[in-house]
Every structure is written in C-alpha cells, then in structure tokens.
C-alpha cells in the first residue's frame, strides 16, 4: 500500500465532509500567521525564547501563548493556541512511535502516557532556563567615610521554569501556582527517579502534583504558537525533544517501561468482577484543604484502603496501584490481601468499573 500523503488525505476528507473546505496545512498556518499582528516582546518573556531554542518572527504569538484569560494586557488568551497545540503534540508523538511496529493497544497506552495533563504539567513545572540574578549585600569589610558598610554586588543563578512565564491578573491563580510548585519540589526527586530508572510509568506520583489544567495548557499553547509561527512540524519536534518528552519516549521503548494505567491494569486483573472505588474525605489543618481516602472493592471483596490523597483522582490512582500489587502477589501465591482501616467523615463518590 502506497502512502498518499497529506494531499490525498485532504482530498479524501473533502469527499466525506464536503461542507468543509480542506486546505493544505501550510496554507492554513500561513493564513493564521498573516492575520497575526506583530508586537514587541515584553522583557519578562525574553528568556523564554532561549529556553525553547526558537526565536519567534511574530512575537505576539508567544505573548498570546503565555497569556491567561484573567490577564488585562489586551492580548488574546492561550485557549485557541492550546487547542491547536494539543493536535500538534499528538502528531509529533504519533509520528515518533509509528515506525516502531507497535500494536494499536501499545500505541494507545504509550501515547496516553506522553500527552496526558499530569505529565505535561510536570514538564511545565520542571523545564527551566537558568538565569543570573544580581543583588546587593552589605560589605562589612569595607566602610565609607561615615563608617557605614559599602555594598557589593552578588550574582546568583536562578532557575526560571516555564510556569513562571504565565501572564495573569489573578491573586488566587498565583496562590495555586505556588502551592503546586511546592508539591513539585516535594515530589520531584521521586518522579525523576521513576522517569530515569523506574520499571513503571509514575501515574500515581504525577497525580499527586494536583496540577490545575493551565499548567498543561501552557505546554500545548506554546507548541501551537510555534507551529503557526514556523509552519514546521520539524521545529515543533525539536522543541518537544528539548522539553524531555521524546527522550522519555525512547527510554520507555528501550527499557520496556510499563505504561498501563493502574486503573486499567486493575480492571484486567479483576476479569469479570466489577471494580468499585469508594471515596471518603476529611478536613485537613487548613480549612480549604481536604484529605482523601479510597477503598477499592473487587466484586464484594475489599482489597485495599489508601489515605493521604490530595484529590479524588490521585487517591484512586494510588489505590488502584496498590490493589494491582496485592492482587498480583496473591495470584502468584506471594501474599494475602491487606486491609487498612482509617476513620474518615463523609463518603463523596463511588465509581463502578465494569
């Protein structure tokens, strides 16, 4: 079978969807590029081009990609470019994996592991450029004529991660950014260890970041902006490489990292039995925070109970991961099912998995 390429694919789409005018990708990107007004890049965004290794011809695209809807700067927000960048990232990842002869199931699991919101949020938190920061400090060894210490310049290295370039005008969003960054600092070592040497994809660790959607949106909007500005998937691929996404893809293939989500793995182990996730929660020291507990049942049997979750979804993932280990050990005759008891206040959610 001979690949007809994008031109023939567009002709095929025109047959099945005649109400849409299907133009070549380069025509579409050029049209969007030409409609974009030019602007001068703010000084705060200048290091971002160094981080990407790409210089924008139309700086307004980069400004739009880094602008939250709360910003009062007058620029468009990142939503449209994020929508486009989501498709660009899919294309880059699928193009990279397709030549390896993977089954459709393997490609599905691998793609999901590389484009999910938690992983992209981690990239947004981790990917950074180092800058020199200048400060003044008193020099007690050198006094002026009045006996007061003179000041000397101190230079220190400061890491600027991608998330710090988001332009917004929301006090609450700033608070959320700092809280998420705090969780990233706490979990970073374990996540890096999993990425570099782990045998399983760190679904549960990434879920514990509890990163709001705008973190992953920044990665996708950036790729959307680069595609419009460059008109080149090759350029986008180079940036995805610098982000660390493609190097981890190669590590997964090389070392056979298991990318199956724990909830899917548990469903497979349960076979014909139903899987239930019962979520409970209780207040933490801060009034605006809650701690979550998840009890997993396979059929009528309680398999495991996990507490300390930062969100309902993260504790489900952790509980599923623990349940998989327990059931696999039981299947091999290496252990018994363990049940942990904890007192929580209210049951909030029950999920049935067929």
Please, what is the angle between helix 104-115 and helix 245-255, to 10°? 140
Is pLDDT at 91 greater than 60 in this prediction? yes
Q: Return all residues near 344 (Cβ < 8 A) that are at least 6 apart.
A: 280, 281, 282, 291, 293, 307
Worst-scoring range by mean pLDDT, 69-78, 93-102, 148-157, 210-219? Answer: 148-157
Q: 346 burial class (0-12, 13-18, 19+ CB within 10 angstroms)?
A: exposed
Neighbours of 273 (CB within 10 A): 15
Is pLDDT at 281 greater than 70 in this prediction? yes
Query: Which pLDDT score, from 0 to 100, does residue 134 have?
Result: 55
DSSP states of 205-260 as a string? Answer: HHHTT---HHHHHHHHHHHHHHHHHH--HHHHHHHHHHHTHHHHHHHHHHHT-B--
Mean per-residue pLDDT for 328-340? Answer: 64
Is pLDDT at 347 greater than 60 in this prediction? no
Mean per-residue pLDDT for 95-117? Answer: 96
Sheet hosting strand 301-309, strand order edge to edge: 301-309, 290-298, 275-283, 346-353
| Beta-ladder partners of 156 | 133
Yes or no: say if 316 and 307 are a contact pair by the CB < 8 Å rule. Answer: no
Query: Which pLDDT score, from 0 to 100, does residue 74 have?
Result: 61
**Distance of alpha carbon 231 from alpha carbon 226, whole angstroms:** 8
Tokens of 171: 């006090």
**Residue 311: closest CA among 212, 202, 184:** 212
Band (pLDDT 50/70/90 cuts) for residue 9 is confident
Radius of gyration of the chain (CA): 25
Is pLDDT at 339 greater than 50 in this prediction? no
**Distance of alpha carbon 21 from alpha carbon 249, whole angstroms:** 35
Neighbours of 225 (CB within 10 A): 29
Yes or no: say if 273 and 331 are a contact pair by the CB < 8 Å rule. Answer: no
Q: Return all residues near 144 (Cβ < 8 A) that are at least 6 apart.
A: 150
Q: CATH 3.30.160 in the chain, residues?
A: 262-353
SS3 of residue 150 by DSSP: strand
Q: CATH 1.10.1520.10 in the chain, residues?
A: 36-127+166-255
Mean per-residue pLDDT for 251-260? Answer: 97
**Residue 118: closest CA among 194, 209, 179:** 209
Is pLDDT at 349 greater than 80 in this prediction? no
Band (pLDDT 50/70/90 cuts) for residue 333 is confident
Query: Which pLDDT score, from 0 to 100, does residue 342 have?
Result: 41
Query: Which pLDDT score, from 0 to 100, does residue 137 have?
Result: 64
Output the CATH code of domain 36-127+166-255: 1.10.1520.10
The residue with tokens 């101190």 is 154
The residue with tokens 């299947």 is 331
SS3 of residue 42 by DSSP: coil
Is pLDDT at 345 greater than 60 in this prediction? no
Question: Is the CATH code 1.10.3470 the one for domain 262-353?
Answer: no
Tokens of 121: 């949020």
Longest dimension (CA), the chain: 87
pLDDT tens column, 180-236: 999 999 999 999 999 999 999 999 999 999 999 999 999 999 999 999 999 999 999
Neighbours of 300 (CB within 10 A): 8
Query: Which pLDDT score, from 0 to 100, does residue 348 have?
Result: 40
pLDDT tens column, 28-56: 788 887 888 888 999 999 999 999 999 99
Please, what is the angle between helix 213-230 and helix 233-243, to 10°? 140
Q: How far apart are the first and last CA of the chain?
A: 39
């Amino acid at each position: 079978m001979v690949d007809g390429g994008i031109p023939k694919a567009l002709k095929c789409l025109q047959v099945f969807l005649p109400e849409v005018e299907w133009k070549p990708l380069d025509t579409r990107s050029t049209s969007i590029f030409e409609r974009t007004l030019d602007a001068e890049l703010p000084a705060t965004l200048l290091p971002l081009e160094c981080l990407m290794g790409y210089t924008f011809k139309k700086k307004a695209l980069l400004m739009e990609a880094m602008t939250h809807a709360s910003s009062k700067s007058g620029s468009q927000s990142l939503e449209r470019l994020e929508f486009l960048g989501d498709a660009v990232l899919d294309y880059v990842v699928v193009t990279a994996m397709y030549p390896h002869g993977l089954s459709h199931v393997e490609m599905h699991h691998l793609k999901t592991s590389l484009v999910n919101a938690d992983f992209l949020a981690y990239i947004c938190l981790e990917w950074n450029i180092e800058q020199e920061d200048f400060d003044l400090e008193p020099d007690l060894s050198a006094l002026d004529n009045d006996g007061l210490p003179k000041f000397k310049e101190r230079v220190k290295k400061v890491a600027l991660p991608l998330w710090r370039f988001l332009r917004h005008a929301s006090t609450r969003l700033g608070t959320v950014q700092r809280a998420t960054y705090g969780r990233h600092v706490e979990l970073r070592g374990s996540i890096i260890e999993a990425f570099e040497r782990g045998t399983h994809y760190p679904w549960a660790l990434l879920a514990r970041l509890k990163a709001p959607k705008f973190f992953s949106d920044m990665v996708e909007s950036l790729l959307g902006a680069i595609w419009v500005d460059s008109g080149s998937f090759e350029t986008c691929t180079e940036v995805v490489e610098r982000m660390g996404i493609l190097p981890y893809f190669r590590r997964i293939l090389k070392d056979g990292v298991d990318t199956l989500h724990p909830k899917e793995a548990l469903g497979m182990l349960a076979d014909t039995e139903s899987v239930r996730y019962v979520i409970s929660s209780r207040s933490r020291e801060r009034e605006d925070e809650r701690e979550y507990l998840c009890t997993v049942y396979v059929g009528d049997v309680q398999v495991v109970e996990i507490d300390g979750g930062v969100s309902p979804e993260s504790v489900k993932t952790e509980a599923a991961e623990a349940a998989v280990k327990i059931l696999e050990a039981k299947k091999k005759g290496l252990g018994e099912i363990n049940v942990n008891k904890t007192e929580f206040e209210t049951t909030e959610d029950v999920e049935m998995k067929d």
